[in-house]
Every structure is written in structure tokens, then in C-alpha cells.
């Protein structure tokens, strides 16, 4: 697929032409309490045809590098405004090297004295950007760095995958996304319970998945998430924000998250979703949670890929007639009435019951209050 900025003057002025969009992970490390600037950058990168994984505030070096490994990004971007760059960046590079992903370049943005730029570059930082650096310049550098990425040796990657190497799993997922895997390779048969999680935009799918996954991990289960966000129909870029709701500041080897853009695929999924699920399943997880893009009434493709489908709703999201319509309401194995800390939860539950009856469970959940999630986990264990 060729991705080219359609309106570069309106976006960043930079035209990107690549086989696949460059992927960058943006992280705010440390105690800096605001992220307005990095969010503006994330949107600008999306508008320039880049796939952006944003991990949110208060991340650690360890959690950032583990996320970069799972996402198999082309570039790691760190935002620091706390003047801690000479302490944080060596630590991040140490974790990067320990995890065997020193091939992923790191760029730094923040308040960095000019005198420190040579020191940072000497230690291995690819570029340093101060406030006021133009988006055009930053995008150009990201694309240059992404273009240096080499195609993986998939024979050796498959050997490492069979040994349980998480980096190899990430690289195989990149291979299927970019159409690089050998045609004759097939993932081993897995044993995971594959659960689809779908629902309208803003209903809280990512937060729900993050909390549910933590419960399952605490029970000793290995859990993977495939999270799909929409691609821009104009530039091909994407802001992949689902991981933001699921990350903790401490890496957990039992929990694997991979973000994908939809690439214009139908049904709230990505075109290669089935192959990606098979690769993750063959790695040996107990549960795979597949999150669709914000779904509409006709986005029912998830039912073809999963063993179970959970449909998330929220208070005041419809009435009995709305809940009786064909389409997405029909494919749910159970319903999760999320955000039940909000007004209207009881009335919405009553409307839902009158429409769908009692044959399929309806769970009332609040991720803010940690209510109802244990019941969902227990039900999944019985299916």
C-alpha cells in the first residue's frame, strides 16, 4: 500500500510515500503532569500519514521499551519537559538494549540545552528536538529513520517465535501486516479463548479490556490484546490510542498488547486480522481479546473471528426499539453495560432486558469503580 499525504499544505507540508505507514511510539516519561503538546504532535503525525501509538502520561523507561517491543515500532519518541534527560535517556537506552531492540532508533523532544545535544547523540539518541522545532522537520526525520528499517529474516524469527520469544511474535505480526511473511508458513494451532469486544466509539472498550485483562492475569492466565483503531481515509495515518487505556507503569510479561490500524478494512477490523489472531494464538496465550474500532450497527465481522463476542453499551445509549434492531445486537454472546457509575444505568438495563430477554447475560460494569468485572471474568472461564 502506498501512503501519500493528500493535502500536505494543510497537514505538515511533508509528503510521505512508503509501502506501509511509519510507526512511532510516543511516550511521556516521568512526572510531567501535562501532555497537550505531545497530543498535538500525535495528531500532526497522523495527518502526515504516520501510525502513532501514544502511551500516555507518567510512563517509566521499562514500560515504554516493553511497549515498543510489543508494537515493533520503527521509532521511539520520548517527550520530556522535566530537565531529566541526562538521567532518563541512558536508562531508556539500557532497557532497549537489554530487550534486544537496539535497532529501533530513539528521538527526544523537550527542553534540552543545546550543550547537551552532542552528549545525547553520542550516547545513541538519533535526534533531539526543542520546543519550536517545526513539525515538518520532525516528520521528515521520523520518515528517514523509519526508512532505514531492514526486513526481518523470517526463518530465524520463526525459530525464536517457537521458543517463546515475544520480540519474534511482534516481528511476525509486523510481517503479516506488511505482507512479508513466506506464503508457506502457518502458525501453530493454539488453545486460546478468543473474545471479541465491540461497541460504539467512546463506550469504554479499551478501559474495560485493560481491567478485565488484569483480572485474568492475576488468575495466572496469559492474555493478549489485538486492538484495532481506524486509519485516516485521507492520509493513511492513524492515532492508535487503545493501548493508552491498558498500560500500567510496570511491564507485565503475562500481558501482550498489539495495536493495528484498520487499513480501510470492513466490519471494524483490519484486513489481516484473522492471520494476526492465528499468530498470537499459536504463541500460547490463554485468552486473546480482540477490540474492534468504534463499531456501528452493521459492523458484525468480529463474529467470524472469535469464539465469543461481548457488546459494550453505556447508559442512555438506546431504548428497546434500538436494542431490537438487526445487526450488531444479534451477534453478542453477552452484553456489558459499561460506565454504570453514570446516571441512567438502571433504565438502560431495563430497556435492554425488554429487547433481548434473559437468554444472554447482561453485565453491569464500572471500570472507574472496579465493579462487575470479576463476574465477567468468571463467566468467560465457563464458556
Taking the domains of the chain in order of start, what are their residue ranges?
23-147, 152-184, 193-382
Q: Tell me the pTM.
A: 0.92
User: Is CATH 3.40.50.280 the right assignment for the domain spanning 23-147?
Assistant: yes
Residue 258 contacts residue 225 (beta carbons within 8 Å) = yes
Residues in contact with 216: Cβ distance below 8 Å, sequence separation at least 6, in sequence order? 223, 286, 287, 377, 380
Q: Which residue has the higher pLDDT, 12 or 70?
A: 70
Determine the Cα–Cα distance for residues 350 and 200; give it in Å rounded to an integer: 20
Q: Which helix (H) or strand (E) holds 108?
A: strand 106-110
Q: What is the fold of 193-382? A: Rossmann fold (3.40.50)
Q: Which helix (H) or strand (E) holds 70?
A: helix 61-71
- pLDDT cut 90: percent of the chain above it: 80
In this prediction, residue 6 carries a pLDDT of: 36
Q: Which residue has the higher pLDDT, 20 or 272?
A: 272
Q: Mean pLDDT across the stretch 69-90? A: 94
pLDDT of residue 4 exceeding 70, the answer is: no
Amino acid at each position: 500500500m502506498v501512503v501519500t499525504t493528500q493535502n500536505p499544505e494543510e497537514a505538515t507540508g511533508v509528503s510521505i510515500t512508503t509501502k506501509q505507514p511509519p510507526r512511532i511510539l510516543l511516550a511521556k516519561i516521568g512526572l510531567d503532569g501535562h501532555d497537550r503538546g505531545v497530543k498535538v504532535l500525535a495528531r500532526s503525525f497522523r495527518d502526515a500519514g504516520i501510525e502513532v501509538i501514544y502511551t500516555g502520561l507518567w510512563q517509566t523507561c521499562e514500560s515504554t521499551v516493553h511497549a515498543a517491543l510489543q508494537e515493533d515500532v520503527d521509532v521511539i519518541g520520548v517527550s520530556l519537559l522535566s530537565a531529566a534527560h541526562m538521567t532518563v535517556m541512558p536508562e531508556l537506552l539500557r532497557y532497549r538494549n537489554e530487550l534486544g531492540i537496539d535497532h529501533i532508533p530513539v528521538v527526544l523532544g523537550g527542553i534540552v540545552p543545546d550543550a547537551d545535544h552532542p552528549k545525547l547523540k553520542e550516547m545513541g539518541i538519533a535526534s533531539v528536538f526543542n520546543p519550536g522545532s517545526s513539525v515538518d522537520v520532525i516528520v521528515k526525520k521520523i520518515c528517514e529513520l523509519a526508512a532505514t528499517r531492514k526486513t526481518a529474516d523470517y526463518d530465524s524469527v520463526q525459530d525464536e517465535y517457537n521458543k517463546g520469544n515475544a520480540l519474534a511474535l511482534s516481528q511476525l505480526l509486523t510481517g503479516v501486516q506488511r505482507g512479508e511473511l513466506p506464503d508457506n508458513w502457518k502458525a501453530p494451532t493454539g488453545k486460546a479463548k478468543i473474545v471479541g469486544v465491540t461497541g460504539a466509539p467512546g463506550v469504554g472498550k479499551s478501559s474495560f479490556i485493560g481491567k478485565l485483562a488484569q483480572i485474568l492475569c492475576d488468575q495466572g492466565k496469559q492474555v493478549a490484546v489485538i486492538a484495532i483503531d481506524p486509519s485516516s481515509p485521507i492520509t493513511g495515518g492513524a492515532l492508535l490510542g487503545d493501548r493508552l487505556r491498558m498500560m500500567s507503569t510496570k511491564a507485565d510479561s503475562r500481558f501482550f498488547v498489539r495495536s493495528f490500524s484498520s487499513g480501510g478494512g470492513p466490519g471494524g477490523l483490519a484486513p489481516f486480522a484473522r492471520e494476526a489472531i492465528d499468530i498470537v494464538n499459536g504463541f500460547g496465550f490463554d485468552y486473546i481479546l480482540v477490540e474492534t474500532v468504534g463499531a456501528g450497527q452493521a459492523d458484525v465481522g468480529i463474529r467470524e473471528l472469535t469464539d465469543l463476542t461481548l457488546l459494550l453499551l453505556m447508559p442512555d445509549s438506546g431504548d428497546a426499539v434500538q436494542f431490537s434492531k438487526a445487526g450488531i445486537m444479534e451477534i453478542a454472546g453477552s452484553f456489558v453495560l459499561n460506565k454504570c457509575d453514570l446516571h441512567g444505568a438502571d433504565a438502560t438495563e431495563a430497556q435492554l432486558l425488554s429487547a433481548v430477554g434473559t437468554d444472554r447475560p447482561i453485565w453491569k460494569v464500572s471500570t472507574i469503580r472496579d465493579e462487575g468485572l470479576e463476574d465477567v471474568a468468571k463467566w468467560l472461564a465457563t464458556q
